[in-house]
Amino acid sequence: MTSTLRRALTVAAAAAAAAAALAIPATPAFAIDEVPCGRSDFASVKYHETPGQSHEVCFANSGEANLDNWAASEWLHEIWTGNNRVQWYGDGRWQPEGGINKWTRFTFPNNPGGVSFTKIRIL
Q: What is the pLDDT of residues 54-74, one digit of tens each?
A: 889 999 999 999 987 665 688
- The string of DSSP codes covering 67-105 is ---TTSEEEEEEEE-SSS-EEEEETTEEEEEEEEPTT-E
Domain count, the chain: 1
Q: Is residue 105 part of a domain?
A: yes
- Whether pTM exceeds 0.85: no
Asked if the structure places residue 115 within a domain, the reply is yes
pLDDT, residue 103, reads 99
pLDDT at 8: 56
Residue 121's pLDDT is 97
Listed as ranges, residues in the chain with pLDDT below 50 are 24-27
Averaged confidence pLDDT in the chain: 83
Asked, for residue 14, whether it belongs to a domain, the answer is no
Q: What is the reported pLDDT for 54? A: 86
93 within domain boundaries: yes
| Residue range(s) defining the domain that contains residue 95 | 33-122
Domain with residue 108: its CATH number is 2.60.20.30
Per-position DSSP letters for 16-56, written without gaps between them: HHHHHHHHSPPPPP---EEE-S--TTSEEEEEEEESS-EEE
